[in-house]
Amino acid sequence: MTSREEMLRLRTITEALMPLISEPPTLAVILGSGLGALADLIETPVSIKFENIPDFHASTVAGHHGRLIFGRLQQVQVAVMQGRIHAYEGHDMPTVVRLLRALHLLGAKDLLVTNAAGGINPRFGAGDFMIINDHLNLMGVNPLRGPNLDELGPRFPDMSQAYDAELISLAAEAAAHTNVQIHQGIYAACSGPSYETPAEVRMLALLGADAVGMSTVPEVIAARHMGMRVTGISCISNAAAGLSGQPLSHVEVEQTANRVSQDFIALILHFIELYRTH
């Protein structure tokens, strides 16, 4: 696939979405596994299913509603992906980040990305949250591989500050204000869909990872390539393999996310309020 072909796909998406919005989004939000309830609070929502967006696909994972919703949260114009698609569903990386790229072309300048993750740091408990301050890309692939989309960003984007320091500070302030248990740490992204083995989790701990999941990093890389500021928040849904003595399941991920849903909503709403006023 050439860069021209991908840009044509992006323009097709933006042309399809443009009639749905009354004003451009400022903030793009991606809601991870089990965290989609926030989307129900969007004011004047306009919704479209992923599969009805040109050159995009339905999400096949439980806990991902697979909808794009335009509207307002805390007086901020947002574009919210209620769920995401993953590489492990069989998609290549340009497809995984395609909708985010289109949202940037529609006007989104910043990205708030969320996920459910397995806790590696022994201080983390199920139901805690973690502000991502750096990541390890262990997926074996990069969304920028192939011809560079020069219209979007440079061939070799700097990733030394993948997660914006000011937005990290706002997320920490929001957590303090809402009394939500939160940490900061490094997120490791693996390809999935199988969970990591206990040996792999021990390796990740040695590499400095505090939590592990199967998403987020592709979107962050694509966002930084386009010059978007990024903040990321993980919901620690369970202890990673070998740390609890229990087998892992996606049901546990959804149950934990549902249990802390109100804390998550309070945290994100206050973050967006602080975002608006800074």
Query: Which one of the listed residues 64, 104, 135, 225 is annotated catalytic?
Result: 64
State how far the Cα of 23 lies from the Cα of 104, in Å rounded to an integer: 13
| 64 carries an active-site annotation | yes
| 187 carries an active-site annotation | no
Query: Which one of the listed residues 47, 65, 89, 173 is annotated catalytic?
Result: 89
Query: Which one of the listed residues 108, 115, 238, 257 is annotated catalytic?
Result: 238
Query: Which one of the listed residues 28, 93, 214, 239 is annotated catalytic?
Result: 214
State how far the Cα of 196 lies from the Cα of 247, in Å rounded to an integer: 11
| 22 carries an active-site annotation | no
Query: Which one of the listed residues 250, 261, 266, 273 is annotated catalytic?
Result: 250
| 33 carries an active-site annotation | yes
Token pair of 250 as six digits: 């996606």
| 266 carries an active-site annotation | no
| 135 carries an active-site annotation | no
Query: Which one of the listed residues 86, 104, 135, 183 is annotated catalytic?
Result: 86
State how far the Cα of 13 lies from the Cα of 17, in Å rounded to an integer: 6
State how far the Cα of 62 lies from the Cα of 40, in Å rounded to an integer: 18
Query: Which one of the listed residues 33, 121, 133, 137 is annotated catalytic?
Result: 33
| 214 carries an active-site annotation | yes
| 88 carries an active-site annotation | yes
Give yes or no for a contact between 234 and 14, defined as CB atoms under 8 angstroms apart: no
**What residues does 70 pair with on adjacent strands?**
46, 79
Pairing of strands 27-31, 76-82: parallel
Burial of 5 (0-12, 13-18, 19+ CB in 10 A): exposed
Query: Which one of the listed residues 87, 116, 209, 228 is annotated catalytic?
Result: 116
Identify each DSSP E strand in the chain by its residue range. 27-31, 43-49, 67-73, 76-82, 110-119, 129-138, 182-190, 211-213, 229-239
Q: What is the set of active-site residues?
A: 33, 64, 86, 88-89, 116, 214-215, 238, 250
